[in-house]
Amino acid sequence: MCATCGCGPTDHHHSHDHGHSLGNEQNTGKKIVTVEQDILQENNLLAQRNRGFFEGRNILSLNLVSSPGSGKTTLLERTLTDLKGQLEFAVIEGDQQTANDADRINATGTKVTQINTGKGCHLDAHMVLHAVQGMKLKPDSVLFIENVGNLVCPAMFDLGESERVVVISVTEGDDKPLKYPDMFHSSTLCIINKIDLLPYVNFKVEKAKEYARKINPNLEIIELSCTSGAGLETWYDWLKSKVLLPV
Ligand SMILES: Nc1nc2c(ncn2[C@@H]2O[C@H](COP(=O)(O)OP(=O)(O)O)[C@@H](O)[C@H]2O)c(=O)[nH]1
Ligand SMILES: [Mg+2]
C-alpha cells in the first residue's frame, strides 16, 4: 500500500505475460511507515534492474508525469508522427482503466503496451519490468512511459527511467510547482503545454518558471503547444540531444 495515497501494493510476484490490473488490497493502517519503506525499497531494487536493462541497450527511457489531461498522449502522438523514421520509439501507457491511450499510440504505428493499474494511482518498477519483458525493445531506441495522471504518487516511484519529464498545461494554474514540489524536484525537464490557450487563461508563464526553478534550479523548461505546434522543435531538439548522449 502506498502510505500517501492508499493505493495498492505490488504484491504480484507470479510470472505472466498479461497486462496488469492491481487493486483491492487491504489497508489495515498498521505499521504504515515500515510498509511504505519496504515497498519503496523493493521498488528501488527493481528500478535499478530496469535501469541496467535500458543502459545496456542504450535505450533512452522517459517517464512522462502530469495531472490528467495536460496533454501527455497528445504530445506523444505528435512526437511519434513528426519524428517517424528519425528515431526508433516504443511506448508504455499507464492508466487506471481502458486502453484508450494505447489505441491512440497504436494509430501512429508505434509499438505500445498498456498497463491498467486498477485502483493504483501510479506505475511502479515491477509493472514496467513486466511490460518491457514482452516488448522486444530495440537497442538505441527511445521508450516513453506515460505514467498515470497524478502529480503526487508517481513522484515516489522510480521506474528505472533515464529522465523524468513533468508536463503541466496552462489551464492548471501556474502555482503547481509549489503545490507538488516532489514531482518538479525529481524531474529533468518541465514542459509547459497548451500555450495556444494563454490568451484565455490567467496563467503567468514567468511565474510558473520562477516557482519551478525555486523547487529545482536545474530544471529545464520548454513552452509548447501540441495543437499549434509552437515550441515542438525545441522539444525535439532536447529529445535528440539525449538520444545522442554516449552510454
Ligand atoms: N488547446 C490545446 N489542447 C491540447 C493541447 N494538448 C493537448 N490538448 C487537449 O487536451 C486534452 C487532453 O489531452 P491528453 O493528451 O489526452 O492528456 P493526458 O491525459 O495528459 O494524456 C485533449 O482534449 C487534447 O486534445 C494543446 O497544446 N492545446
Ligand atoms: Mg494520456
Which CATH number does the domain housing residue 230 bear?
3.40.50.300
For the CA atoms of 109, 141, 167, 41, the dihedral, rounded to the nearest 10 degrees, stands at: 120
- Using alpha carbons, select from 118, 122, 110 the residue that is nearest to residue 164: 122
Ligand 1 environment, Cβ below 6 A:
66, 68-74, 149, 193-194, 196-197, 225-227
Ligand 2 centre from 80 Cα, in Å? 14
Per-residue pLDDT of the chain (247 residues; tens, 9 = 90+): 554 456 555 444 434 444 443 334 455 565 666 677 778 999 999 999 999 999 999 999 999 999 999 999 999 999 999 999 999 999 999 999 999 999 999 999 999 999 999 999 999 999 999 999 999 999 999 999 999 999 999 999 999 999 999 999 999 999 999 999 999 999 999 999 999 999 999 999 999 999 999 999 999 999 999 999 999 999 999 999 999 654 4
Ligand 1 centre from 193 Cα, in Å? 8
State which residues form the domain around 169.
32-243
For residue 13, being part of any structural domain is answered with no
Ligand 2 centre from 135 Cα, in Å? 20
pTM listed for this prediction? 0.88
Q: Distance between CA 80 and CA 151 in Å, rounded?
A: 24
Q: What pLDDT is attached to residue 30?
A: 58
How many domains does one find in the chain? 1
For residue 11, being part of any structural domain is answered with no
